[in-house]
Amino acid sequence: MSYGHSTGKVEDQAAFVDALASGKNDFVTIDLSEQTIKVVGNTAIVRHILNGTSNDGGKPGVVKIAVFLVWVKQGKEWKLLGRQAVKILPAS
């Protein structure tokens, strides 16, 4: 798995799980909108907007990002292969 953050940081599965388990990355609220899903064979492409609040390492924050995910079906289970997020900047 390749997990790309909106900051440009990229983590593998072990680093991503460690960041969540340790509290380095902590979402307090998450609201997903504008989700689209396109399935082709055993691959799915998912896009959505994520609005939320975070508490990363004890520092509160507000998150508004566009997310792109690639999922692959293995047997009966869907596995996340890749994720990339970009910040959505306020309209000027």
For residue 10, the model assigns a pLDDT of: 94
For residue 50, the model assigns a pLDDT of: 96
pTM of the entire predicted model? 0.86
For residue 80, the model assigns a pLDDT of: 96
For residue 47, the model assigns a pLDDT of: 98
Using CA atoms, how far apart are residues 9 and 90, in angstroms rounded to an integer? 22
- pLDDT per residue, tens digit, the chain (92 aa), is 999 999 899 999 999 888 878 877 788 999 999 999 999 999 999 999 999 998 877 889 999 999 999 999 999 999 999 999 999 987 76
Q: Edge-to-edge, what's the strand order for the sheet holding 27-40?
A: 10-11, 2-4, 77-87, 59-74, 43-56, 27-40
Q: How far is CA 70 from the centre of its chain?
A: 11
